[in-house]
Chain A
Amino acid sequence: MAGKLLRYGGQGILYLLFAAFIGYFSTAPAYQHLAPNEGLLRLSFRHPGEFATDCRQRTAEELAKLPPQLRAQMDCPRERSPVHVRVELDGQVLYDERFQPAGLRRDGAASGYHRLPIPAGEHRLRVQVNDNARVKGFTHEGERQLTIAPGQVVLIDFIADMGGVVIR
């Protein structure tokens, strides 16, 4: 009888230990995703840059070399410009990156995503974008005064229809 009790007790302890193991790692230790006084800037966009080069008129010699069905007067390369993004926080460059267009011929949209944890509090956020390789400097810009609360997420997007840089 005592042996039976000991065996049941031992099994009870073992299964409870297993349950405790499962219960603990089910939610703990908590993953510190951000420091307690940090917010998160997320840069995320999908945007086709401008065409990298202008169309040009083909010469008579060039046209003659082409098969008759392909003799278009204008030669318009499809390659698009990379999208250059610079993020400044309180006058300091936080992130500066060029995103290449998708596709083997680089004729698709450029996509970008980046996480930037920043301290909570008052900040001046400035985002500059260049989507045209033929233009020096930046073609679009957005600037906003932000009050970032801990855990707040601010999204930096680029939507051409909405004027370019969108901060929300």
Chain B
Amino acid sequence: MSLFHSTNQRDSRVPGDGPAARAWRVLERALDRVCGDRDNPLRQLGGLGFYLFWLIAVTGGYLYIFYDTSVVGAHASVEALTHGQWWAGGIMRSLHRYASDAFVAVIVLHLVRELMLGRFRGFRWYSWLSGVPTLWLAVAAGVVGYWMVWDSVALFVATATMEWFGALWGFGPGLVRNFIAKGAVSDRFFSLVVFLHIGLPLVLLLMMWAHIQRLTQPQSGTTRAVALWSLGAMLALSLAVPAVSEPPAELGRLPASVPIDWFYLAPLPAIYAASPELVWIASVGLTLLLGVAPWLGRWSRPAPAQVVPDYCNGCRYCFADCPYAAIAMAPHPSGQGEIAVVEADRCASCGICAGSCPSAVPFRPGERLVSGIDLPDLTVGVLRDEVDAAFRQPGAAGATLVFACRHGARLGSAAPPNVIAFELPCAGMLPPSFVEYGLRAGAAGVLVAACAPGDCEFRFGVRWTDDRIAGAREPRLRRGVDRARVAVVHAARNERRALEDAMKSFGERLAAAAVTSVAGKSSRREFGESENGR
């Protein structure tokens, strides 16, 4: 049986292949049609979170200049900012508020996306686990921010938060006395609040930094379009509905109706609807559940990439291409140059490193093809053997050779005839020289089916594949290869029809080219560009 499962065989399940993942992909693709895949905010939620964080930090810095850390001055200074300089302080305050709300919405969406796409298990455990505390830190920083205004909402938030924490062992019911007894709130309290409102986001930033440590070229920002549209939306909201304060806090009064910010303060009504203890159980329980999620359920982890020292020349291509910073460079045991070293815990077993290795060239003589870095269970040597075997079959010459990403669209039983297909863990695993090898082995054309841009299971598989085939990144597809017989198709998991259509269209073009070639009329110019299956 082929190790590189043919897409003609029965579909096997891959992580993130359930109805939740399909639903999310439908949503993302719908938004692609409006925003374009590059500027789709759903595809850059993490980066958008970073962007909003900096927007909050900048606007918060401006507000801090004018904030008075005293019982009497806190509310008054915020009012002066809001109304006295509405054109600057007022807008800054509104931006600060709405960007903070959007920040919570974005990080929750980010979590939901990764959960629905099944991207939290295995090698991703660190990124997932380090993201969980950011939820608590973001909410804590926001709740403390509401205290600073010291209006009636602030008093409600302060007392309700203390009632909630008072249910914890070690705090006790006396905690709330800090906000209800006469004279309990002093000027120093506001200095403490400012300290917390700056300190907590700094810890949050530290966690966000830790969160992206196992990524190469992490997306800690957005595309210009998303940044401008987001800023514009928050600005429009700030001008249309400026953030304002309620009347100053009075310890002897609480309004019956409190206009709370549900992004940050939703747990507080819950402590009255249920009980503080129940809300603790629910929130801590949910946090623990999120924390252990990577280890729940059955998950078989494929073997990590392995380096063969005799074939590694320390070129650093795999080091540069690994999406998860799982490869480091170390002195070569031979004493000359460097060697790639794989950190197994970080390795996604995507094979992108094998695709980047300049020694993974199928034209190399020898019975067995050994690459400098490879997946032990799915080596490029075996791939070459299987391509050879496939084209030794009678009638195989002239077939279309397909290299398809296992996580992208699959042809299944509906694969057209005269197609020889191989599945790879990621399109990025394909060394570009295999395209030329397939053509020389007898294929009429070679089609590489990758995931949709922005939906790559392993972050850079689509990008590196496109660049390598286009000759823009090492290792490059040789310039002499007839590009008319090569196509790269982008099709997401649930876009089988797009892949089938692209294959059909590619087959027709190859057939037409063959006819015109026989007639002695080269028509390369007609189909000289790569396919786009979308």
Contact = CB atoms under 8 A, between A and B. Distances in A.
Interface of A: 7, 10-12, 14-16, 18-23, 25-28, 30-36, 38, 40, 42, 44, 46, 102, 111-113, 115, 150-155, 157, 168
A33 B34 contact: no
Contact of B259 (A19, A22, A28, A112): A28
A158 B118 CA distance: 55
A33 B257 contact: yes
B163 to A, nearest CB: 7
Given A27-B259, A30-B260, A35-B256, 20 more contacts: A7-B34, A14-B31, A16-B233, A19-B236, A19-B237, A21-B105, A22-B102, A22-B237, A23-B240, A26-B97, A31-B259, A33-B256, A33-B272, A36-B257, A40-B254, A44-B176, A113-B177, A151-B253, A154-B252, A155-B181
B36 interface: yes
Interface of B: 31, 34-36, 39, 97-98, 101-102, 105, 156, 163, 166, 172-174, 176-177, 180-182, 225, 229-230, 232-234, 236-237, 240-241, 243, 251-263, 265, 268-269, 272
Most chain B beta-carbon neighbours within 10 Å: one of A31, A33, A38, A40: A31
Contacts, number: 122
The 10 A-B pairs at the shortest CB distance, nearest first, are namely: A113-B173, A10-B34, A15-B233, A19-B233, A27-B259, A19-B237, A34-B256, A111-B174, A30-B257, A25-B262
B105 to A, nearest CB: 7
Contacts of A115: 163
A110 to B, nearest CB: 10
A150 B163 CA distance: 22
Nearest to A15: B233
Nearest to A120: B256
Contacts of A25: 101, 261-263
Given A22-B98, A25-B101, A152-B252, A15 B257 contact: no
A23 B97 CA distance: 10
27 contacts: A11-B229, A14-B31, A14-B34, A15-B233, A19-B98, A20-B237, A22-B101, A22-B237, A25-B262, A26-B97, A26-B243, A28-B259, A30-B257, A33-B254, A33-B257, A34-B254, A35-B256, A38-B256, A44-B173, A102-B172, A111-B172, A111-B173, A150-B256, A151-B253, A151-B254, A153-B253, A154-B252
Nearest to A7: B34
Contacts of A15: 229-230, 232-233
A142 B177 CA distance: 20
A152 B260 CA distance: 19
Contacts of B156: 33
A165 to B, nearest CB: 14
Contacts of A102: 172
B180 A7 contact: no
A23 B235 CA distance: 11
Contacts of A44: 173-174, 176-177, 180-181
A27 B234 contact: no
Contacts of B182: 168
B237 A23 contact: yes
A43 to B, nearest CB: 10
Contact of A33 (B98, B172, B230, B255): B255
Contacts of B39: 11
Contacts of B258: 30-31, 33
Contacts of A16: 233, 236
Contacts of A10: 34-35
A31 B264 CA distance: 13
Nearest to A17: B233
Nearest to B235: A19
Contacts of B256: 32-36, 38, 150-151
Most chain A beta-carbon neighbours within 10 Å: one of B97, B98, B172, B268: B172
B31 A152 contact: no
Nearest to A18: B233
A26 B262 CA distance: 6
A123 B243 CA distance: 38
B420 to A, nearest CB: 38
Contacts of A27: 259-261
A154 B262 CA distance: 27
A130 B269 CA distance: 33
B269 A31 contact: yes
Contacts of A7: 34-36
